[in-house]
Each structure stands twice: as structure tokens, then as C-alpha cells.
Structure 1
């Protein structure tokens, strides 16, 4: 009887120890998994501003999809992948360079495929204006590569971060549905694109420090708000192209 009792006690102790060890192993595995996920998420978000809403980005394009939409998606993907330095002027300049390159791509598509004289004229003007601004932005962006940090790109409540994020989110969320007419597609896409540039430029005016860059931002606002009005006026007169 004593031997049986001793055996049962020993067996219970062994089972209890095994259970504890398994629980520790499961807890360790769970902790390691959580840390790996957090690390992966942090690495994935390190290039973009905090809380960017990518839900509307149409990243899966195909040969049958609108070339205009593909150009817009390519530009947004490049902007989203940019690593923010944390200096308002530096980050505005580099983001706007990619933004302008997107406008050039869409203007080239309009000049290749469009037929409407007004839209083609606007494409030519946009291309000329933004090529000029790119040539002015590039040396400024390079000069600012060593500029000190003055905002927090990963903090969603940082004033500059929130304004730049709103600009990108607005562009993504307001992407128009493409139609068969290339002139209408250019019109709709550039309206959304220009509004995003205006919003970015306003963020620079509010929080930037570089005098030359702020002057450029104001000129962008003036020129692109005027063109937005022209795009909307043309759109209203050409509803049949929808």
C-alpha cells in the first residue's frame, strides 16, 4: 500500500512538472511570435508616415487596367515607400519630387492618347511647369539631406505628419473610376493629383522653415488651384465623355 501511494505521488509530480514546462514553452513561443510580428510591422512601416491609410491603393494592376491609373499607383507606391527623415523641408521636397514625376507620367499619357485640344494644352503646360520645378527642387532636396530633425514622422498627432498623411489619404480615397475616354481620365486624375499637391504645399507653408521652398509651395498652390478650377469647368462641359 505504501509503495502504491509513493508511486502515485511520484507520477502526479512528474505530470505537474511536465505541464508547467509545456506552459512555459508555449508562453515563450507566443512572446517570441509577438515580438517578431511587432518587429516586422515596425520595419514595414518605417518608410511611411504614421497611420497612412493604404486601403484604397490599387496595387494590383494588369495590362487591361487604365494606364493613367497605373501611373498614379506607381507614383503613390514610390511616395509611400520613402523613408521620412524627420525634417519638414527635406521630406516635403523629396515627396514633391515624386509627386511631380507622377504628373509628368500622366501628362505624357494624355499627349500620347488624348484627343481633346484643351486637355492636351493643359498636359503640355503641366509638363513644362513641373519639369521646371523638378529642376529647382532637386538641388534644394540635396542641400537639405543634412538638415536637423524638427518633426516626428511616426507620430500621427504631429501637426506636419497629420497634414501630409491627410494629403496622401485624400488622394488614395478619391481615386476616380476610369472610363473609356483618355481625356476624361486625365482630367479626373489630375484634379485629384493637384488637390493633393495643394494640401502638401499648405503643410509646407504652415510648418516649413526653408524660405525658397516656402515660396515654391505658395506658387504651387496658386498655379494648381487655378488648374483645378479649369479641370472642373471642362469636366462640367464634357459629361458625355463619362
Structure 2
């Protein structure tokens, strides 16, 4: 009788152990390696990715055959890229100086984009310069500006502020190259005046970014 009771108790204990829930699996352990950000493959909305798309759009801006119209169109696209970079910094950045700069870029975009849009529309119907030696030289200058800009880009670090500073620096350098070509070949007085103003602002912002980068060397390293 006692043996039968002991056996029954042991059987109940074994059944209870078998019914216990398995130990909890640590959350996300199975795919942790898949979720880690890869610095070589930046997120779609990161500053490096936004800058790369902006650079690509600059290369695909439609050419009208009129130098002044094309300068205005290219600078308008450049402003749009700067505004998108600023939006990324405001959304993800933490550094107050860079966020203030991003806000300045957004305000400049609202002001200058309207002026550039009007200039592009006004110069669009000017006499075409297509197939002339001057326009061909202008086109080669713009192509060289785009090609030279690629050397300014740096691999992403995963630090939103450092990546914004590096991407914006490259973007501003591209703008300065575009400005040089625009001044050399453009002829519309209001456009040339705006281009000179654009050059002043881009150079000032570039110096701000360079100063920030020098003051934050650790944040630009992985």
C-alpha cells in the first residue's frame, strides 16, 4: 500500500514537471544580428542616404539648352537636397548647434526656392543656346562639378550628428562647385546676383560645419 502511494506521488511529480512551460526565450535573440545597423548600408532616411539621393537628382535635372535656366534649376534642386538633410538632422540629431544650422537651412530654402523658381521660369523661354560651344562648355563644367563632388563624401558612422555634418559638408562643397560654373557661364543679372548671395551663404555654412567637425573629432569615428 505504501509502495503504491509512493509510486503515485512520483508519477504526479513527473507529470507536473513535463507540463511546466519551457524557459522564456530572451526577446529578439534569434534575429539580433539581423537588426544591427550596418554602417556601410545607411538607413533610407539617414543623412548619408538622403545626400546620395540628392546628388543623384542633381545629375538627372533636365537640361533646357539655356544656361541661365539650367543654373537656376540646378541650384533649386541643390536647395531641395539641403532642406531634406536639415529635416533629417531636426528629426534625429541631438547637437544644438547643428540643429540650429538645420533650422537656418530650412528657412533659407523657403526664401530662396521661390526666387529661384521664378528665375527658372522667366529664363526658360529665352533664346536657346543648345548645341553652341558655350552651352557645351557649361555642360562639361556642370558634369565635372558633379564628378568632383563624390570625393567629398565619407562613409556613414551611425552617429546622426556626425553623419549630418559630413553629408552637409559634401553637399555644400557641391553647391560651391555649381556656383563657380554658374558665375562663369550665366548672363542673367538677377540670377548672377542671387548666385553670388548663394555662394556667400554656402561658404558660411561650410565653415560652420567644418568648425563643428574639428571640435567633435570623436563623434566622427566608429
Distance 2:82 2:216 in 1: 22
3-state SS in 1 of match to 2:124: helix
Alpha-carbon distance between aligned partners in 1 of 2:67 and 2:139, rounded to the nearest angstrom: 9
How do residues 180-195 of structure 1 correspond to structure 2 at under 5 angstroms?
180-195=158-173
Query: Counterpart of 1:198?
Result: 176
TM-score by length of 2: 0.75
- 8 A Cα contact 2:48 2:164, kept in partner: no
> What is the 5 A alignment of 1:1-242?
64=43, 67-150=46-129, 152=131, 158-242=136-220
Checking the alignment, whether the CA contact within 8 Å between 1:152 and 1:158 is kept in structure 2 is yes
Contact 2:93/2:160 (<8 A) preserved = yes
TM-score w.r.t. length of structure 1: 0.69
Separation of aligned partners in 1, 2:134 and 2:191: 24
| Separation of aligned partners in 1, 2:59 and 2:141 | 15
Q: Aligned partners of 1:152 and 1:84: how far apart in 2?
A: 12
Change (3 A) 1:162 1:191: same
Deviation at 1:69, TM superposition (A): 2.0
CA–CA distance in structure 2, aligned partners of residues 168 and 179 of structure 1: 24
Q: Conserved in 1, the CA contact under 8 Å of 2:68 and 2:186?
A: yes
Report the structure number with the largest CA radius of gyration.
Answer: 2
Q: How far did 1:116 drift?
A: 0.4
CA contact (8 A) 1:152 1:161 kept: no
Instruction: Judge conservation of contact 2:67–2:135 (CA < 8 Å) in 1.
Output: no
Equivalent residue for 2:29?
none
Distance 1:174 1:151, change over 3 A: farther
| Structure 1 consecutive aligned stretches of length 4 or more whose deviation exceeds 6 Å | none
Q: Secondary structure at the match of 1:158?
A: helix
User: 2:76, 2:116 within 8 Å by CA — same for their partners in 1?
Assistant: yes
Q: Is the 8 A contact 1:160 1:203 kept in 2?
A: yes
Instruction: Report the alpha carbon displacement of residue 150 of structure 1 after superposing the two structures with TM.
Output: 2.6
